Amino acid sequence: MKREDDIKKAVDILRKGGVILYPTDTVWGIGCDATNPEAVKRVYEIKQRDDSKALICLVDSEARLQRYVRNVPGVAWQLFECADKPTTVILDGAVNLAENLIAADGSVALRITKEEFSKELCYRFQKAVVSTSVNISGQPAAQNFCDIPQEILDKVDYVCWSRRQEHKPHTPSSIIRLGMGGEVEIIRK
């Protein structure tokens, strides 16, 4: 399947409130429309994860990121610009997202993806896409398609074809929390 057709199918599923598995700039991700609370609930159920643990969202651009946070501190832009690996930033003041995606303190974890497939997926969808690792909570993340448990494959609405043949190490993103006053806390290197 051509990448363009793969993305078109994935976007169609996302628009219908479905859940997909897709390659990202890090490990394989379980994705859904980050503004759809029912879809977000399904992701938590598939991962068997407590919904008090927030999920990461991917966006394709700085402009799109600004739709989901009231005030993005200047240091966030510096982090995105200087990062030498995929970096997720936890920001306060989340807006325009599913309530069950926003942490109890009002924050959200966002990453601007630069990887071709996930960037194009987010661009075509025109919204933030949930991007949590493909695994049952507490188990190792699926670095490659071949690592995805059948139990998860059976529970989603679409599995992307792109990059299924890859067999190389992938690691999760760095996670950095930024406070409104410019405080920086490294959650995961």
Tokens representing residue 125 in the block: 């969808």
pLDDT of amino acid 123: 98
pLDDT of amino acid 21: 98
pLDDT of amino acid 146: 96
Beta-ladder partners of 122: none
Mean of pLDDT values over 63-92: 92
Q: Work out the pLDDT band at 189, boundaries 50, 70, 90.
A: confident
Q: Where are the domains of the chain?
A: 3-188
pLDDT of amino acid 184: 85
* HSE-up (13 A, CA, CB side) for residue 100: 15
Give me the amino acid identity at 122. C
Tokens representing residue 127 in the block: 């919204």
Q: In whole angstroms, what is the distance from residue 33 CA to residue 40 CA?
A: 7
Q: Which residue has the higher pLDDT, 67 or 180?
A: 67
pLDDT of amino acid 53: 82
Q: In whole angstroms, what is the distance from residue 47 CA to residue 64 CA?
A: 26
Tokens representing residue 130 in the block: 């949930």
pLDDT of amino acid 128: 98
Mean of pLDDT values over 23-34: 96
Please provide the CATH number assigned to the domain covering 3-188: 3.90.870.10
Mean of pLDDT values over 74-86: 89
Could you read off the pLDDT of 2-24 as tens digits, one per residue?
Answer: 999 999 999 999 999 999 999 99
Mean of pLDDT values over 128-156: 95
Could you read off the pLDDT of 50-73 as tens digits, one per residue?
Answer: 887 889 999 999 999 999 999 998
Q: Residue 62: how many CB atoms within 10 A of its CB?
A: 13
CB of 132 within 8 A of CB of 20?
Answer: no
Residue length of the chain: 189
* DSSP element (H, E) containing 185: strand 184-188
Mean of pLDDT values over 125-146: 95
| pTM score, whole prediction | 0.94
